[in-house]
């Protein structure tokens, strides 16, 4: 029996290992869709991770996990998938850093960890507070609301907000200050109005 050509053998091995996407298609996708996200990915990692010396390693780990996941099925769109991978990687790292061997602590009370999850009352209060905050944000003037969301929720800098909205950085600062004061007035005013 004649020996199978190398490409056919690689295809059979890939199928046996559960790899569905051809290597050439995967590499083209990675270069076209994932690598252009590097600047945004590094910015996300810089904002989210305290140890700046780890950033390059974290970026490479995101690339590795993304590539390995795409072996089975190329995610579309790529951007949300890459950032979900990055977020999950950071969560994994934080968990690993906070693990304390049980032998290291003789008394579990010394850990200072609350063993009980927040109760239904606390969850209801938190949901109510979020609804109040959303209602207050919705009452802001449109441009002010947009600046507050970009700056405080999405974490963009004043310069990035100015570039995105086509306004001066001082205008961004003015909108942000006015928006935060207005939110504080609305939320604290509501709280004061509810007090007995």
Q: What is the pLDDT of residues 53-62, one digit of tens each?
A: 888 999 999 9
- pLDDT of the residue at 82: 92
- pLDDT of the residue at 116: 52
Residues of the chain with pLDDT under 50: 1-6, 12, 14-16, 104-108, 110-111, 113-115, 191-196
Residue 153 token pair: 């929720």
Question: What structural domains does the chain harbor?
Answer: 7-97 (1.10.1740), 116-186 (1.10.10.10)
- pLDDT of the residue at 190: 53
Nearest to 38 by CA among 88, 99, 86, 93: 86
- pLDDT of the residue at 42: 92
Instruction: Decide if 183 contacts 148 (C-beta within 8 A).
Output: yes
- pLDDT of the residue at 193: 44
Residue 45 token pair: 């990692």
């Amino acid at each position: 029996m004649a020996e199978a050509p190398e490409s056919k053998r690689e295809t059979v091995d890939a199928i046996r290992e559960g790899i569905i996407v051809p290597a050439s298609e995967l590499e083209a996708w990675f270069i076209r869709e994932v690598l252009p996200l590097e600047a945004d990915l590094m910015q996300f990692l810089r904002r989210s991770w305290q140890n700046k010396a780890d950033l390059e390693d974290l970026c490479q780990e995101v690339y590795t996990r993304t590539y390995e996941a795409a072996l089975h099925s190329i995610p579309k769109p790529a951007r949300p998938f890459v950032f979900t991978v990055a977020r999950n990687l950071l969560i994994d790292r934080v968990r690993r850093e906070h693990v304390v061997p049980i032998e290291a602590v003789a008394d579990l009370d010394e850990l200072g960890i609350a063993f009980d999850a927040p109760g239904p009352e606390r969850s209801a209060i938190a949901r109510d507070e979020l609804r109040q905050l959303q209602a207050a944000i919705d009452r802001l003037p449109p441009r002010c609301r947009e600046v507050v969301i970009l700056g405080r929720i999405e974490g963009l800098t004043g310069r990035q907000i100015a570039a995105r909205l086509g306004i001066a950085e001082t205008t961004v600062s003015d909108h942000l200050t006015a928006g935060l004061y207005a939110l504080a007035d609305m939320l604290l005013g509501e709280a004061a109005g509810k007090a007995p």
